[in-house]
Every structure is written in structure tokens, then in C-alpha cells.
Amino acid sequence: MLDYSKARNEFEKYLDGYDRTDDKIKLKIIHTYGVAEQSEKVARRMGLSEEDVTLARIIALLHDIGRFEQLKQFHSWDASVMDHAAYGVHVLFDEGLIRRFIDEDTWDAMIRTAIAHHSAYSLDITGDDRTLLHARLIRDADKLDNCRVKLEEPVEVLLDASPVEVGAMEVTPEIAGTFFSNKCILLSERITKVDYWVSYVAYFYDINFAESLSVIREENYVSRIIDRIPYTNPQTALTMERMKRYMESYIDSRIYADSSAKLPV
């Protein structure tokens, strides 16, 4: 039987091995519980079973477990120093840590797949429908809580530059082209700090479920994230306004298409 309370208690014990006063550790703890909240919200909107709602919350609880060791060793988010998703899978399943959180191995394959692929550029896997559902759900929930992070954390912490400095920069033409092609932006493609900011909006192209897109629309995340930066560069201001309208229209069209597909014929 899945027990979220047990998993949460064990997660809190696990965190005792790390410096809870460290700003990056604190941010990651808050993010973990935020993703668990978003996972439950989307799962319930989708009408999933109580078991799947609980499974989604536990996957969210464990999805970034590799981040804590990365921060302890390197004090960095940089993927080049550690693949936190792969390391999380290693400690959970190769070292057996998963049994602290869940007694049975019934759901191990689904949890392993979801965590292994939660931060990949795209979800390029095959499997049974339930495994794919949870792999997609954790990716959506992760992005939804990252919206909160982009709105609450100081821009200086997120980009190592002030909002004014970011707003004076230009969007690289290649980045704009990728955005208007309905594609997410690779980390390696970003050049300017405003390119990074564009990438935080472009990841909405990778949202899987209409229920997740509805949360984005209800919370007005597109406008709120884009408008957080004061764009003093005139060309950048025009580009970002165009991106805002384009993404909002894209989200509306995705929600409408999903709603239409569910109408009885």
C-alpha cells in the first residue's frame, strides 16, 4: 500500500543529512513540496484514482532527491557537474534507498522511469500507459512549481544579473526562431540572460496535459513571468510582447483542442 505520510516522514529524516540553512537546500526543499502539491492538483483534475494521486505525490517527493547531494558536493545546479536525475535513480534503486519510502516494489519501475526522465529535454520513451502518465505528470508538475520559483526568487539569484541588466539585453535570433517554432530551448543554445528568461516560458511547449495548461492560464503565468523584467531594449520589448501573445494563444488552442476531443459525438 502506498503511504504518502510515511514517505514524507522518511524524506524529512533524509534531509537531516544536509544543511537546511543553506539557501539552495532550502529552495530545493520548498520546490519539492511545491511539486508534490502541483502533482496532486493536476492528478485530481484529471480524475485519477486515489492510488495514482498518491503515487504522483510520492514521485514528486523523490524526483529531485539527487539534487541534495549535488548541492552538498558542488553547491551548484549545473548539469555538467552531476546529472541529478541519474544520481537520484542510483541512490534510490541501485543503493536501495527507495525501501525507506515505500515497502513494496510494485511501483518501482514507474517511479524509476518518471524520476530518470523528469528533467530531460524531451520525453522520448516507450512503455505502458500508466508509466507514461506518471512520467508526463511529474514533468508538468515540476514546470508548474518552477513558475512559482521564477516569480518569487530574486532575478539576481536566478540569472546572476539584475532585472534592469537583463531587460537591456537582446533576444538571440536563433532563440526567437526556436520559440516561434513551438519548441523548448536547449540549455546550450542560450547566450544572453534574456535568452534564459525566454527559455522559462518556452518550456510550456512541453506541458503534457490540458489540466496543467489550465493552471498556467488561471494563474496568468505567461504574462507574470514575461512582465517581471523591465525591457528597456526596444526590440526586446517588442519581441517579448509578441512572445507573450503567441504563447497565450498557443495555450488557449491546446486547451480548446483537448476540450473538443472530449465532447460526445
Beta-carbon contacts of residue 143 (< 8 Å; ≥ 6 apart): 203, 204, 206, 207, 212
Identify which of 30, 31, 29, 51 has the alpha carbon closest to the alpha carbon of residue 40: 51
pLDDT at 126: 80
Grid cell digits, residue 248: 497565450
Quick check: 262 and 197 in contact, CB under 8 A? Answer: no
Q: What is the DSSP letter of 58?
A: H
pLDDT at 81: 66
Parse the chain into domains and list their residue ranges: 1-153, 158-265
Which of the listed CATH numbers 1.10.3470, 2.60.120, 1.10.10, 1.10.3210 matches domain 1-153? Answer: 1.10.3210
In angstroms, the Cα distances linking 237 to 181, 202, 240, 244 are 20, 17, 5, 11
Q: What is the DSSP string of 159-218?
A: HSS-HHHHHTS---HHHHHHHTTT----GGG--SHHHHHHHHHHGGGG---HHHHHHHHH
Quick check: 120 and 85 in contact, CB under 8 A? Answer: yes
- pLDDT digit string, tens, across residues 89-114: 998 999 999 999 999 999 999 999 99
pLDDT at 176: 98
pLDDT at 173: 98
- Taking the CA atoms of residue 82, residue 88, residue 89 and residue 91 in that order, the dihedral angle to the nearest 10 degrees is 110
Q: How many beta carbons lie within 10 A of that of residue 63, not counting itself?
A: 27
Which segments of the chain have a pLDDT < 50? 265
Beta-carbon contacts of residue 219 (< 8 Å; ≥ 6 apart): 147
- pLDDT digit string, tens, across residues 14-37: 999 988 898 888 888 999 999 999
Quick check: 200 and 222 in contact, CB under 8 A? Answer: no
What b-and-e string marks burial along 128-148, b requiring 16 or more CB atoms within 10 Å of the CB?
A: eeebbbbbbbbbbbbbbbbbb
Quick check: 69 and 144 in contact, CB under 8 A? Answer: no
Q: How many beta carbons lie within 10 A of that of residue 94, not counting itself?
A: 10
User: Any idea what the Cα angle at residue 145 is, between residues 114 and 158, rounded to 5°?
Assistant: 110
Beta-carbon contacts of residue 262 (< 8 Å; ≥ 6 apart): none
Grid cell digits, residue 94: 541501485
